[in-house]
C-alpha cells in the first residue's frame, strides 16, 4: 500500500509543528498480511521508497516552518 495524500498531509503537519523529534508518527504493520486495515503501511523492502518520500516531505515542511520562525 502506497501512502495516500492524507498520509503525506499528516506527515507534513508533523514537520510543520516545528518539533525536533518525531516518534511513533505512524503505526506500521510488520508484514503486509498483518495490517489492521487496507490503508495501513507495512514495513518491508518494498516500502523503502515510500518511507523515504514521507520523510522527505516531513523534513521539507519542517525546514519551511523553522525558516518562517527565524525570519
Q: What is the 3-state secondary structure (H, E, C) of the chain?
A: CCCCHHHHHHHHHHHHCCCCCCCCCCCCECCHHHCCCCCCCECCHHHHHHHHHHHHHHHHHHHHHHHHHHC
The predicted-structure confidence for 3-42, as pLDDT tens digits, reads as follows 889 989 988 998 898 877 776 556 777 777 888 888 788 7
| pLDDT tier at 48, thresholds 50, 70, 90 | confident
pTM: 0.72
**pLDDT at residue 18, rounded to an integer:** 80
Task: Answer whether 61's CB lies under 8 Å from 8's CB.
Answer: no
Is it the case that residue 61 has pLDDT exceeding 90? Answer: yes
Is it the case that residue 43 has pLDDT exceeding 70? Answer: yes
Amino acid at each position: 500500500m502506497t501512502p495516500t495524500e492524507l498520509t503525506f498531509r499528516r506527515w507534513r503537519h508533523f514537520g510543520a509543528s516545528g518539533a525536533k523529534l518525531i516518534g511513533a508518527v505512524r503505526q506500521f504493520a510488520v508484514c503486509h498480511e498483518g495490517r489492521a486495515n487496507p490503508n495501513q503501511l507495512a514495513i518491508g523492502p518494498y516500502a523503502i521508497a515510500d518511507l523515504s518520500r514521507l520523510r522527505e516531505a516531513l523534513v521539507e515542511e519542517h525546514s519551511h516552518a523553522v525558516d518562517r520562525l527565524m525570519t
